[in-house]
Chains A and B, each alone.
Chain A
Amino acid sequence: METQVFKVPDSFKKDFKYTFCPGCDHGIAIRLVGEVMDELGIRENTIAATSIGCSVTIYDFLDMDSIEAPHGRALAVATGVKRANPDKFVFTYSGDGDFASIGIAESLHTALRGESISSICINNTTYGMTGGQLGPTTLMGQITTTSPTGRNVEYYGYPVKIAEHIALCDGTAFSARVSLDTIANIKKAKQAIKKAFEVQLQGLGFGFVEILSTCPTNWHMSPEQAHERVRNEMMPVFVPGVYKDVTNI
């Protein structure tokens, strides 16, 4: 007698095929979202607001209603969806450029208003889809196509610590940063996504998870080296942890 211990989440489209580069952690993050949707039974009640960048393709994989927001406007579009339909489950899935650069005003204000929305932000320290330019989370010293000698303060200033900023907003119910570099951390990431979704279902406020993720293509690394970089270079700066959890006070 055998028991199935792993399957493609039911919330996925039957004929899906990921279009990410080999080794890209987007695929894991989206799978975790799908698993959480299965566990909470929310797929049929979900409306997602997607973003611009590699993250937008989530609507090709998850079998859910979605609207593609203009670049940086995912949280505003999600606010419109949620205010018009308070009974729907509404979430966004964006990259760090969308969430924390062009869309930082929308993101922070959505958290400040305490919208009943859940947001996932993939932090891979670069603009992936456009070919690896410097983004809001690019680390000091990191070489990108627009920081050819590495990020320096003189020209670029400092990277943004997203989960900490979101945690400072009074309307935030949950804010955490997780990583996908190890199996143990993948499991923690799923717990955080679930929590960020649950606070919406409980009407507690804005739920947020920043996921440290890889971009092997634009980092010019093997998938394995990329996880080492997450561990050795990203995690000391973008420290994983739960930065706010109103259910745990």
Chain B
Amino acid sequence: MPDTEVSVRWPARYNTIPKDVFHRRDVYEAELSRIFYGPEWHPLAHVSEIPDKGDFKTLQIGEAPVLVVHGDDDKLRVFYNSCPHRGTQLQICARGHAKEIECPYHRWLFNLKGDLVGAPGLNEFSASFKKEDFGLRELRSGEFAGLVFATCSDQAPDLDEFLKGTKDYLTKALGGDGRLKLIGYQKTIYGTNWKEYGDNEGYHPPLLHRAFRLLKWQGGQGSNGVTEHGHKVMEAEVQRPQPGFLDDHSLVEFRDTSTPPRSIIVSFWPMTTIVKHMDVINVRYAFPLSPDDTEVHYAYFAHQDDSPELLQHRVRQASNLLGPSGFISLEDGAVFSRVHAGSRSLGTVAFQKGYADKPLQAPCFVAQNDEASNLIRWEHYRKSMGFARD
């Protein structure tokens, strides 16, 4: 991808971040190139969202449209959602089913492996035209626990390497064996920069989210860290909230007896987050729309072995607890946009809680209610962007 020179003055103090990286258009354009289209992997779909041969899902990596296809051979492939002929968007709905992929513009036809099967007027194409050169552009992809990842870059490490330090968390968060069933989506736009969206940490929950206090809901023991590739991982015991505040306390009950009541979060660099909290199984696919807007698709899942009662419980919790209008999560959305509005004041922000005035080394684990481990991500960001410290 073409890139231009971008310069940001980065403070010498390790825990300090310049605010202009949240607003500058030139920084954002460089982030698309160096991070989103650079050597990182992006979760795009769980196999349960496209369970049958011919099923597809459309999404974005950065601003680039991509298409995840469940092939006739049961392989999941990721293509750019763009005809290799003139660039026309191929599929327009969020999810669908197709036996083959046809571009509407000139009726070029592709099979589910992305091969060009036919194109009208082919005899009159240039002499150098070869069908095999005009298949759909496929991205490197891989799968773990049913979750499909792709990268735009040949320079990305193997997926196994990228996932280092996250696999145990991811397996547990995705129901243990990845045998999930899609139960729905919630989609919204937060008025914030993608990095502010991703900068949530362990310091804020008991302070920002009043629901925890009103439910007399204490946190349990847990771990909170960031891996070498900048992924946040968190696992904590979750105490049972006390009845009394809600008229319908069943909303905050644990009913899945197959797993211990724990909260598990894997927040992949650069964006998408997987959350298992109470009986909610949630993948939050996210992508930037601009320096000022971030779109998040909350996908919710049940386990294939759930009883009808547990399934209904998961649906109620998914609809009311942890989404953009969720009982214990709505305030996150409010803070995302308020942080973004406030950071137009220029200068710097600083991470304090858990920071001991010296650089941190990945993998880095801090106390559950600390925020300092986010600095590992910021260091990964700074290096990816090529910004030198003062």
The finding on whether chains A and B are genuine partners in a shared complex, rather than unrelated, reads: no
Interface residues of B (CB under 8 A from A): none
Interface residues of A (CB under 8 A from B): none
